[in-house]
Chain A
C-alpha cells in the first residue's frame, strides 16, 4: 500500500466547500484511493473511492490528479455534522484489509 500524507487538521466555515487533500506520490497503478471518516465516538464510515476518474456520490466528490499522486475529497456544503477525522487510504482493489493513518481532523465552524 502506498504511504499517504494528510494535514493533521483543517477548519471550514459552515455552508462552504471543504476540500481535504491527500498526497500519495508512491501509489501504484492498480491501487485505489479510499476515503473514510470517523465522527466522535463512532466507528469509521466509508465515504467514496476511485482509481483515476473523478467520482461523486451523495456524500462527497473525489478528485484524483492525472498523475494520481494526490487527491482531494470535497464536501460541497459542509455542515456541523461533517466535523470528523477523515482518512485517506490507498490499497489494491480486492485487498481485504485497510490500513488507517492518523487522518485529518476537520472542524466545521458555525
Chain B
C-alpha cells in the first residue's frame, strides 16, 4: 500500500516570499490533514478536509496561509508571504472517514525561512 506522498522534501526561501507544499493521500482516504511541527514541539493541526470540503481551519493563519483540495484527492498548502516563524516541518496526514484516530502521515516538508 502506497503511503502519503509529500513534496518537496526541503524548501528554503527568504521572508516575504511565497511557497507551496503538495500532498497526495492514501487512496480511498477521504479525510486529509495539514499539521505544522516547529522544532521541539508536537505537530499542530492547521486544517482538516473531508473530501474537498473544509471541516476545521480554526488554527490556520488565514492572513497568510491557504489550502485547497479541489478534487477531493491531492491537496496544496500555500504560505504567502512567509515569515521567519513559519520555519517548521509541514506534515500531511490522511485517514478513513470516522477513523481520525488512526492517521497516516507523510514524511513532511521541511521549510526554512531566512
Contacts and interface: CB of A to CB of B under 8 A. Distances in A.
Interface of A: 32, 34, 36, 41-46, 49, 87, 91, 93-103
Contacts of A87: 42
Interface in B67-114: 91, 93, 95, 98, 100-108
A43 B93 contact: yes
A46 B102 contact: yes
Contacts of B50: 96
B4 interface: yes
A103 B42 contact: yes
Contacts of A99: 45
14 contacts: A36-B103, A43-B91, A43-B105, A43-B108, A94-B100, A95-B101, A96-B55, A97-B45, A97-B56, A97-B100, A98-B100, A100-B44, A102-B40, A103-B42
B101 A49 contact: yes
A87 B42 CA distance: 8
Given A96-B50, A101-B42, A102-B40, 7 more contacts: A36-B103, A42-B105, A42-B108, A43-B4, A46-B103, A100-B42, A100-B44
Interface of B: 4, 31, 33, 35, 40-45, 48, 50, 55-56, 91, 93, 95, 98, 100-108
Contacts of B98: 94, 96
Nearest to A45: B105
Nearest to A91: B101
Most A CB atoms within 10 A — which of B4, B44, B45, B103? B103
Contact of A96 (B31, B42, B91): B31
Contacts of A42: 105, 107-108
Given A94-B98, A96-B31, A102 B105 contact: no
Given A96-B48, A101-B42, A43 B100 contact: no
B100 A95 contact: yes
B44 A97 contact: no
Given A102-B40, A102-B41, A96 B100 contact: yes
